[in-house]
Structure 1
Amino acid sequence: MTASPAAAALTTRAQEVSPRIVDDILTLVRQETSSYDLPGLATGLDLLRELTVQRLGRPDHEHRYPGGECGDTLTLTYAGTGTGTGTGAGHVLLVGHYDTVWPTGTLAGWEQPGASEDGRERLGGPGIFDMKTGLAQGIWALKLARESGAPLPTVTFLFNGDEEIGSLSSRPVIEETAQKADVTLVLEPTAHGAVKTARKGTGIFQVTATGVEAHAGLAPQDGASAITALSEFVVAAAKVAAPDRGTTINTGLFRGGSAINVVAGQATAGVDIRVSSEAEQARVDEELDAIKVSDPRVRIEIDHAWNRPPMTLNAASAPLLALAREVALEQGRDSLPDTAVGGASDANFVAALGLPVLCGMGAVGDGAHAQGEFIYPETVPAQTALVAGVLVRLTRPLRG
C-alpha cells in the first residue's frame, strides 16, 4: 500500500533522525542495569530520565516510586494537545523496563555480532533487544509525533527496573497507572516484527526441602538428604509439564548442603513455570503438591508464587490491534502480524484487568537473554514511526 502524505512525512522524518535514535539506544546500553545492581539501576534510571527530558522537555508531571530491594519506577507525563484544553482527549501509557538479565561487567566482554547471513547490519549489547531499543524508540516516537503538528493525546511513560525479576515492586504502579489511561503500549521487543497479543502466564516457585543432617562417613544412615529428595522432586516436577498444552517447567536454580561430608539438611530450588490458561495453572498447582519423595523424613514445601496471569487478545485490545494495523498500512507496510509467545511481560497485568494493551511495539532483532542478543538498526525508523503514528491516531480514547 502506498503511504499517505502525512504517514510518509512521519516515516521520512524517522529515517532522517535514525542515527540519533541509535545513538540514544547505545547510550542506554552502555549503562549496565542488572536487575540485582541497585546502584547501577539508579544511575540507569537517572540517565533514562535525562535522555527523555533532553528529547521532550520537562514533563508536566513526574513521580519516582521507590523500589526497595528492586529498581525504582518512574512515571513522566506529557500533556496532550487534542482538544485545545491543553490536556488532550485521550491518554496513552507507554511502558518499558530498564533492567536487564545481564550481570554488571558483562558489557566489557561483549562481542559485536557482525552482519547476518543475508548481509543485514546488526548491533549487539546487553539489553539492547530486551529492551533498551524500545525505550529510545518510545521517546522518539512522541518527539516525532509532536513535530508532525498533529493533535496528540496525553502520554505517560512508565519506566520500571524490576520486570526481569517479576515486577515485584512495580506491579501495583503499572496496574494503577494503566487504569487511569485509555490505552497501554508496551515497548517490549517484537517477535520478528510481529506485535505480541498473547503471552503465557508465569510462576516463580521456590521449593524448599528440609532433611536431617548427619556425618556422611560416620553415620550416613542417621541423615535424610534434602538434596536427594529435592532432586527427586525436580525430576517429578519436570514430568508435570505439558508442552502440547503450552505448559513448561524449568528448574533454573538449585542450592543445598553445608559441606561435602555432611548429609544435606536443606536444599532449595527455583522453578520457572509457564502456562497458557488458568486451567493449566490449577492443574500444575495440584500435581506439584501431590509429588512424594522416597524418604519421609524430608519435608517439601512449595511457595506457589504465580507472578503473571496468562495474556490473551481481549475484547478491549482487538480494536487497538486493528488501529495499529491501519497505521502500518498507511505507512506503507504490507502488514502488521501478531503472535503468541511463551515469555511474559508487564502487558500481562494490563490485559488481566480487561484493558486495551498491545505488547511488542519495540525492537526488531533476536536473542533475548542470550549472549548474542541484537537488533537490526535498519528497522529502528519504521518501528519508531509506527508508535508515533499510533499516538497520533489515539487523540480520542479508544474505549468509552
Structure 2
Amino acid sequence: MTASPAAAALTTRAQEVSPRIVDDILTLVRQETSSYDLPGLATGLDLLRELTVQRLGRPDHEHRYPGGECGDTLTLTYAGTGTGTGTGAGHVLLVGHYDTVWPTGTLAGWEQPGASEDGRERLGGPGIFDMKTGLAQGIWALKLARESGAPLPTVTFLFNGDEEIGSLSSRPVIEETAQKADVTLVLEPTAHGAVKTARKGTGIFQVTATGVEAHAGLAPQDGASAITALSEFVVAAAKVAAPDRGTTINTGLFRGGSAINVVAGQATAGVDIRVSSEAEQARVDEELDAIKVSDPRVRIDIDHAWNRPPMTLNAASAPLLALAREVAREQGRDSLPDTAVGGASDANFVAALGLPVLCGMGAVGDGAHAQGEFIYPDTVPAQTALVAGVLVRLTRPLRG
C-alpha cells in the first residue's frame, strides 16, 4: 500500500533518525534496573528522565511518586498544540515500565544473539524487548510528531518501576492519570508486530499450611505435616485449571519445614493464576477454598491476591484500534493485526475502568523474560512512526 505524503514524510524521518533511537535504547539497556534493586531503579529513572528532557525539552509538569519498596513512578507532561479550549487539544497517556525481571549483574554475561535465520540483525540485552525499546520509541514518537509541524495533543509519559512485580505502588497513579487522559497507549512490546487488545487477568496467591511440629523419629504420630498437606493442596489446585477456558494455575514456589528430622509445622506456596474472564476468577476462588486436605489438624489459609483484572477490547478501545489501523495503512503497512496474550500489563488496569487503551505499541522481537530476549532494529522506524502518527491523529479527544 502506498503511503500518503504526510505519513511518508513521518516514516522517512523515523528511518533517518533510527540509529539515534537505537543508541537511546542501548543507553537504557546498559543501566540495569531489576525490580528488586532500588538504587539501580533510581539511577535508571534519573537516566530515563534525562533522556526524555534531552529529546523533548523540560516538561510543562512533572511529578515523582515515591515507590517505597518499589521503584518510583514519574509523570512528565508536555502541553498540546491543538486547537480548542481547556483540554480540547486532547490528552494522551503513554505508559511504560523501566524495571526488568533481570537481576543486577546479568548484563555482564549477556551474549548477543547474532542474525536471525533469514539474515535480519537482532539486538539483545536484559529488558531490551520488555520494554526499554518501547520507552525510547515513545519519546522519539513525540519528538517526530512535533517536528512534523502538525497540531498535537497534550502528552503525559508515565514511567513506573514495579510493573514486573505487579505494579504494587504505581497502580493507583496509573488509574488516576488514565482517568484524566482521553486515550492511553501502553508501550509494551508487540506480539510479533501485533498490538495486544486482550490480556489475561492475574492472581498471585500465597497459600500457607500450618500443621503440628513433632520429632520425626520419636513421636511422628504427634505431628501433622504442613508439607504433606500443602502438597495435597497443590495437586488439587492444579486440577482447578481449565486451559480450554483460558485458566492456568502454576505453583512456582514451595517452601516449608524447619529441619529434616522435624515434622513440618509450616509450609508456604506461591501460586500464579491466569484467567480470561471475571467468571473464571470467581470459579477459581470458590474451588480453591473448597479444597480439603487429608489431615484435619492442618489449617490451610489462602491469600486471594488478584493482581490484575482481565483485559478485553472494550467499546471505548475499539475506535482507538480502528484509528491505529488507519494510521498504519496511511504509512504504507498492509495491516496492523491485534491479538490476545496470556501475560498481563498495566493496560489491564486502564481497560477495567472502561477507558480506551491499546497495548503492545512498542518493540518487535521476541524472548520476553528469557536469556534470548531480542529486538529487530529494522522495525524501530516503523514502530516509532506508528506511535507518532497516532499522536498526530489524536489532536482531538477520541471520546467525549
TM-score normalized by structure 2? 0.98
**Preserved contact between residue 90 and residue 395 of structure 2 (Cα < 8 Å):** yes
Residue 152 of structure 1 is matched in structure 2 by 152
Query: Could you tell me how far apart the structure 2 residues matched to 1:109 and 1:211 are?
Result: 43
> How far off its partner does 1:45 sit?
0.6
> Residue 237 of structure 2 aligns with which residue?
237
Name the counterpart of 2:359: 359
Distance of 1:376 and 1:82 partners within structure 2: 34
8 A Cα contact 1:367 1:373, kept in partner: yes
How many residues get paired? 400
User: 1:170-225: CA deviations, max 9, x gaps?
Assistant: 11000000000000000000000000001111111110111111222222222111
What is the deviation of 1:86? 9.4
Whether the 8 Å CA contact 1:106–1:126 is kept in 2: the answer is yes
Rounded Cα–Cα distance in structure 2 between residues aligned with 1:111 and 1:264: 43
Superposition pairs of residues 364-383 of structure 1, within 5 angstroms: 364-383=364-383
Encode CA deviations 1:319-365: one digit per residue, 9 max, x unaligned: 00000000000000000000011111000110011100000000000
Cα pair 1:81 1:88 within 8 Å, conserved: no
Q: Note the 1:79-90 alignment, pairs <5 A.
A: 79-83=79-83, 89-90=89-90
Superposition deviation, residue 288 in structure 1:
0.4
Q: Please report how far the alpha carbon of residue 87 of structure 1 lies from its aligned counterpart in structure 2 after TM superposition.
A: 6.4
Q: CA 1:114–1:86 in structure 2 vs 1: closer, same or farther (change >3 Å)?
A: farther
Per the alignment, in what secondary structure is the counterpart of residue 184 of structure 2? strand
Q: Is the 8 A contact 1:207 1:300 kept in 2?
A: yes
Report the secondary structure of 2:312's partner residue. coil
Deviations 1:20-75 (A, max 9, x none): 11111111111111111111111111111111011101000000001111111000
| Aligned partners of 2:33 and 2:40 also within 8 Å | yes
Q: Displacement, 1:302? A: 0.2
CA RMSD of aligned residues (A): 1.1
Stretch deviating more after TM superposition (174-183 or 30-39): 30-39
Give the corresponding residue for 1:288. 288
**Preserved contact between residue 88 and residue 397 of structure 2 (Cα < 8 Å):** no
Q: Which structure 2 residue ranges, 5 or more long, are not aligned?
A: none
Deviation at 1:265, TM superposition (A): 1.1
Question: Take 1:5 and 1:85, find their aligned partners in 2: how far apart are those partners?
Answer: 30
Residue 295 of structure 1 deviates from its aligned partner by: 1.3
- Conserved? CA contact 1:138–1:387, under 8 Å: yes
Q: Secondary structure at the match of 1:388?
A: helix
Give runs of aligned pairs for residues 71-220 of structure 1, distance below 5 A: 71-83=71-83, 89-220=89-220
Say if 1:79 and 1:87, in contact at 8 Å, map to a contact too.
Answer: no
Q: Which position in structure 2 is the counterpart of 1:61?
A: 61
1:85 CA displacement: 6.7
Q: Is the 8 A contact 1:88 1:152 kept in 2?
A: no
CA contact (8 A) 2:121 2:377 kept: yes
Please identify, of 77-86 and 328-337, the stretch whose mean Cα deviation from structure 2 is larger.
Answer: 77-86
Match of 2:318 in 1: 318
In 1, distance between residues paired with 2:398 and 2:87? 16
Specify the SS of the correspondent of 1:83: coil
Contact 1:81 1:87 (C-alpha < 8 Å) held by counterparts: no
Q: Is the 8 A contact 2:82 2:151 kept in 1?
A: yes
Q: Is the 8 A contact 2:123 2:375 kept in 1?
A: yes
Contact 1:79 1:86 in 2 (8 A): no
* Separation in structure 2 between the aligned mates of residue 297 and residue 109 of structure 1, nearest angstrom: 49
Superimposed CA distance per residue, residues 117-157 of structure 1 (whole angstroms, 9 cap, x where no aligned partner): 11111111111111010000000000000011110000000
Q: Is the 8 A contact 2:198 2:340 kept in 1?
A: yes
Identity of aligned residues (%): 99
